[in-house]
């Protein structure tokens, strides 16, 4: 199947910027709502989860750019992905175990950020579909 549309990379700096902006707004809203209710620690760890998600996405962008420029081996690229995800997972679990029960909000922040990245990545595709 041949299409006349150019290839658009799914991970771009625009997607990262858009996700970071929305995550920042969500962090402020979460803090504004949860702190007065007495759940400031949950807000803090939720924001840490958002920050970990942002860090992961930034590292993904860097890794994809390096891979597309230098064409390293797929084994090395896969290894770096595994190390990055393992490090973020260990850090998140560590926070959960050290700061129970509020530390669980780290996973909520990570999940929310991943949802933001997916939605942010879909926006250009939705715009393109609507134009057709």
pLDDT tens per residue, range 52-84: 999 998 888 888 777 777 777 778 778 888 999
Flag whether 5 is in a domain: no
CA distances from 102 to 41, 42, 45, 83, 127 (A): 6, 5, 7, 26, 39
Flag whether 2 is in a domain: no
pTM score above 0.85: no
Flag whether 99 is in a domain: yes
Flag whether 111 is in a domain: yes
Q: Using CB atoms within 10 A of its CB, is residue 70 exposed (0-12), middle (13-18) or buried (19+)?
A: exposed
Flag whether 83 is in a domain: yes
Flag whether 124 is in a domain: yes
* Prior bond of 105 cis (ω within 30°): no
Instruction: Report yes or no: 43 and 55 within 8 Å, Cβ to Cβ.
Output: no
- For residue 57, what are the contacts with CB-CB under 8 A and spacing of at least 6? 11, 15, 16, 19, 20, 113, 117
Quick check: 12 pLDDT over 90?
A: no
Quick check: 120 pLDDT over 90?
A: no
**Overall domain count for the chain:** 1
Question: Structural domain of residue 112, as residue ranges?
Answer: 13-131
Q: Element (H or E) spanning 132, and its range?
A: none
């Amino acid at each position: 199947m041949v299409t006349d549309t150019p290839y658009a990379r799914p991970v771009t700096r625009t997607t990262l910027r858009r996700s970071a902006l929305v995550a920042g707004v969500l962090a402020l809203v979460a803090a504004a709502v949860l702190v007065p209710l007495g759940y400031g620690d949950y807000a803090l760890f939720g924001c840490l989860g958002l920050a970990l998600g942002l860090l992961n996405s930034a590292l993904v962008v860097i890794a994809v750019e390096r891979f597309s420029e230098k064409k390293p081996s797929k084994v090395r690229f896969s290894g770096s992905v595994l190390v990055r995800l393992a490090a973020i997972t260990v850090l998140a679990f560590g926070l959960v175990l050290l700061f129970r029960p509020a530390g669980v909000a780290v996973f909520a922040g990570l999940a929310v950020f991943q949802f933001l990245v997916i939605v942010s990545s879909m926006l250009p595709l939705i715009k393109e579909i609507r134009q057709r």
